[in-house]
Chain A
Amino acid sequence: MPQLSFIYYYCRVPAMLSVSILVASLLAMPVLAAEMSGWSDKSVCRLVTATADNAAYVAEATRRKLDCGTGAKSSGDEQQSEKKLLPKNQGIVFYPLKLDPQIKQQLLASPINKTEFDFSPYQLATLAQPIQCQFNLRRVNYDNHVDGKVENWNMAKGSMFLTNAGVKIEGRWRMGGLSKDSSYLKHEVNLKLTKAGHLIGKMAYFHLNISNGEALKKPLYIELKPHKRSKPLDINNPQTAELWTDVEDWAGGVWKFTRCKEYTP
């Protein structure tokens, strides 16, 4: 019996395996062929270029005598096989934008920068000489004071340079956190002076104190407009000014200008 088993395993099993593989292959081939028979030549070519390692796609392309731009013959060369993976970038079309004119107008009117501001409704100052002022910014608290109480500490402090081109600030915020980044006063400010001596425009504004270790908070982008409580700058005789601005329901700000004088840049 052991001899019979030996013969069985070494003669019958390989034969059975071979037959099984042959039958499976014969069954699989028509299935694959049937699946791809309905596909367009273009699709077959795309599959060949995208998955050149799949012999069924290559075989289908070869059967249809498709070139597919790469030569659909399996070369067995690995480098060649990798190349077939790649889309050939043929037939690229540029679909230009055809936006509805009204929508396009709306999109173009939307601000790109957070500090974009339309100055056109305002009469801007025309200065013979630029003006330099020292300034401090203080919080106006409306929480328990209907008219607002100016708090006795500086949110920001520095020098302000008022020119026909706009306002340049050299100074720093004192609100902790992100406000320590001097670039906010440098880059995130778009202000101009009106003929009546008000500051108008848009700027990054830090209204909350951030202590060390607290999560950083981004600034608000507020609009500065003429305020009824402001004491504007006399552009012909610049000395002092007090410019109020609304920020939130509970708090606003007041810019105090001192030691204003004309200067030569």
Chain B
Amino acid sequence: MSKLIPGRRNLLKAGAASLFLAGVPIAGLAKGKPPGSISVIILEGGMDGLATIPPVGDPDLMRMRKAISPEGYLPLNDFFGLHPSLKFYAQLMARGHASAVHATAFPYTKRSHFEGQNMIEGGGLSPFSEKTGWLGRALDLADVAGRSLSLDMPLILRGHHENDNFYPASIRGSSRPKADLVNMIAMGHKMEAAQIFTKVARKSEENVRVPRDPASLATYAGRAMAQADGPVASVIRVNNFDTHANQVEEGDTDAGRLAKQLSVVDDVIAGYRRGLGKAWDDAIILTLTEFGRTVAVNGTLGTDHGYASVGLLAGGALSGSGIIADWPGLSKKDQFEKRDLMATIDYRSVCAACLEKSLGLDHDLIASQVFHQPDLPRVFEHLFA
């Protein structure tokens, strides 16, 4: 009986282990493989779509934001350019594997980070109206599991009981807890608690080492998703897009806070591409951001909270490269509340199209059961036809 009494040191290790192991992935969660995979990159803070994909053909752009428009943009066509930080994304565009949707937003206009982030993850019609997320609900409908690459389970993935989260930790002594100890604790519990400890024991047998940066997580996610029985969805967060100040460096509009963060996004997409390998052909990656930024520049070489932004899409499942937009214009009279880029495309429609393609779900089903909006317009043909 004395063997059942764990020592202080081992108990401490188990505590640390459960924290660490809660983030280690379990392979083979997916029950039936849908036609593709979907990965969401959440850009927290509100990304400036007008600097990411500058509408250089709009005469009002340079008039209103010359101080922060990237000079070294890549001309994509007569009307749109691409921020110079998105180098890998440019390669994908040249290969027909990347597109962007411009002047788009979730139906949220109040410019609060908390509410906006809740809206883009929950997919409801108003902030805090959903307890589950749109991706989680879609995975539930498709009967497949997802995986979160963050310490917590983000709202966007909630909705499926088999969703799992992963975040690598390097706590000394925590990577290999004593299986006997975990099993012993499991024996002392019943029902769900016992299942949790069994899960911990299973995870403890894995020893995964991945750097914490988003790009490495993307590579890891891509590799996991490329496996025959791997997950079909993943979520990665990139923060620091709230560029109220120093969005660009003084005298260099190609550098600054936004340029740095866009490089991270570029690396994440490259990481996915590398990790997915051949599975890239059926993959869709899309970005989400809670809102765009003001059209005008503020006094600190930055921009403030706005309305519409841009959505970046990548993946072999796309039918070609281009910019999808119903361009609203940038003149004062065309701006939302005389300050923001107007949204002309409901980004939920874009998400719905990506779900339709990757999970093989019917649009009407997605519209009514995922977004609770039965008449949500279908934009599938603009992205995948």
Q: Which residues does A use to contact B, with CB under 8 Å?
A: 38-40, 42-43, 46-47, 50-51, 82-83, 85-100, 103-104, 107-108, 110, 112-114, 177-178, 180-181, 183, 187, 212-213, 215-218
Contact = CB atoms under 8 A, between A and B. Distances in A.
Contacts of A39: 333
Contacts of B105: 87
Contacts of B368: none
B274 A114 contact: yes
Contact of A91 (B74, B344, B376): B344
Contact of A87 (B78, B324, B346): B346
Contacts of B274: 113-114
B322 A95 contact: yes
Interface of B: 74-80, 88, 90-95, 104-105, 107, 109, 125-126, 170, 172, 207-211, 216, 223, 273-274, 277, 307, 320-328, 333-334, 336-337, 342-346, 349, 373, 375-377, 379, 382
Given A39-B333, A94-B324, A180-B207, 19 more contacts: A38-B333, A50-B342, A51-B109, A82-B125, A85-B109, A86-B107, A87-B344, A91-B344, A92-B344, A97-B76, A97-B77, A98-B78, A99-B74, A99-B76, A99-B93, A107-B93, A181-B208, A187-B277, A218-B216
A178 B210 contact: yes
Given A91-B326, A93-B325, A103-B74, A108 B170 contact: no
B334 A43 contact: yes
Contacts of A216: 170, 209-211
A87 B326 CA distance: 10
Given A89-B379, A92-B345, A112 B91 contact: yes
Contacts of B75: 99-100
Contact of B170 (A103, A107, A113, A213): A213
Nearest to B215: A218
Contact of B76 (A94, A98, A112, A113): A98
Given A92-B324, A99-B94, A216-B170, A178 B209 contact: yes
Nearest to A46: B342
B172 A112 contact: no
Contact of B91 (A89, A98, A110, A218): A110
B211 A83 contact: no
Nearest to B342: A46
A159 B270 CA distance: 30
A107 B94 contact: yes
Which 9 A-B pairs give the minimum distances between C-beta atoms? A107-B94, A89-B377, A98-B77, A95-B323, A91-B326, A85-B107, A96-B322, A213-B172, A216-B211
Contacts of B326: 89-93
Contact of A108 (B94, B223, B273, B373): B94
B309 to A, nearest CB: 13
A112 B90 CA distance: 11
Contacts of B107: 82, 85-87
A108 B325 CA distance: 25
Nearest to A89: B377
A257 B336 CA distance: 68
Nearest to A179: B209
A177 B375 CA distance: 51
Contacts of A50: 109, 307, 336, 342-343
A136 to B, nearest CB: 22
Given A38-B333, A95-B79, A181 B209 contact: yes
Nearest to A103: B74
Contacts of B273: 112-113
Nearest to B171: A213
A87 B343 contact: yes
Nearest to A216: B211
A217 B342 CA distance: 43
Given A92-B379, A94-B382, A95-B79, A43 B373 contact: no
Q: Which of B95, B307, B344 has the most CB of A within 10 A?
A: B344
A15 B145 CA distance: 65
B322 A86 contact: no
Contacts of B342: 46, 50
A112 B88 CA distance: 8
Nearest to B92: A112
B91 A107 contact: yes
